[in-house]
Amino acid sequence: MRGSILLGTVRGLAVRAHWSVPLIMLLFAYSLAARTLPGYAPGQAPVLYAVAGVVGAALLLVSLVVHEMAHALTARRAGLSVRDVTLWALGGMTRMERPTTARAAFTVAVSGPLASLFLGGLGVGAAYAVEAVLGWRIGVVVLGWLGGTNLLLGVFNLLPAAPLDGGRLLLAVLWWRTGDRDRAQRASGRAGQVLGTALGVVGWLAFLRGMTGGLWLMVIGLFVAAAAAAERRWAELVTALRGVRAEQAMSTPVVTGPDWLTVDRFLSEVAARTQHSVLPLVDFGGCPSGVVQLSRLAAVPAGRHESLRVRDLATPLSQCTQAAREELLISVLERLANGGGLPILVMEDGRLCGIITAHDIDRSRRNPRRPPFPHPFRDTDEPERQV
């Protein structure tokens, strides 16, 4: 996820935090120190409330890490490749290989809520123990708040709607019953849209009645609805592009530009002759070296047009999304988040065969069975392979 920083590694997995995490943890610490603790443990020094609030928020952050690590480690035990874990304002995200069976999808999805419920029970139990043995009210409140928050997190995540863990459980059950993963994902996405919309409406009505917490519920609902809609669109795209290879979607011949040209020469000699907004670049040997956005060139001050070369403003080839001709298009799209985004460069033996833009993907979605374009380095009279 963009805008994230590395916190450390757990069991060899990178754990990152989105920039929103410190903000939300600060809000939790403030709420705990300014409202919850004075209300349930009055008469204490303000500095004690502040320290307890920070400790409680830090323990909640650890709880979120445990939740996501439960997903990650369960996925590893199921034989799935796990990339990393990223925390953000509304929870977390574990990037991993898609489960290949409904059973694996179920076990990975249920592990996170179970971890949160376990931590919640542990926190509530510890609060009762501290009250019975020590009678330390501050500790009781912090542990009780932490346990209650984890219980709420676990129960909320079990709601049967994407992108919540309950939505993954619904997907796994429907996948097991129908044998169609994409159909199950579409159903899970529809459920998420309904639930998110309902939460948003309830939150808005609560806010109008003077309950400030309703605004937060509305934000959560809007997020759930938007994420569920995105998952539903993805499932529909997977269905439409099933079996389509990169060579069937790519545009060719490809318009390229020399990466050694200065900005002024590139704009006048290359960009002026094409309507593309992004162009692949080649080096002196004719090998691809990256891509450049024309909007970035246009933003260069006029005084630097003659001294700055295009390759200095380009995205290098190592950061571009690349695909082999025979690779399934949907597999390439799954890698977009780790690559340089669009366009996709279709490569063969170190040479550029074609590019895939958003327009090409949409065209393939609407007409997925069209034959591939002729290979740009082969005789155009060669028969095209049929799908």
Of 173, 182, 168, 167, residue with least CA distance to 330? 182
Catalytic residue, from 68, 97, 131, 382: name it.
68
* DSSP category for residue 275: -
Categorise residue 12: left if φ over 0, alpha if ψ from -120 to 50, beta otherwise.
left
Determine the length of the chain: 387
- Angle 20-3-304 from CA coordinates, rounded to 5°: 140
- Annotation marks residue 334 as catalytic: no
CA distance 282 to 278: 13
According to DSSP, residue 306 is labeled T
In the chain, the largest separation of any two C-alpha atoms, in whole Å, equals: 88
List, in sequence order, the alpha helices (H) in the chain. Answer: 20-31, 37-40, 46-77, 102-133, 137-157, 165-178, 181-208, 213-240, 246-249, 263-269, 294-298, 329-334, 358-366
Q: Give the active site residues.
A: 68
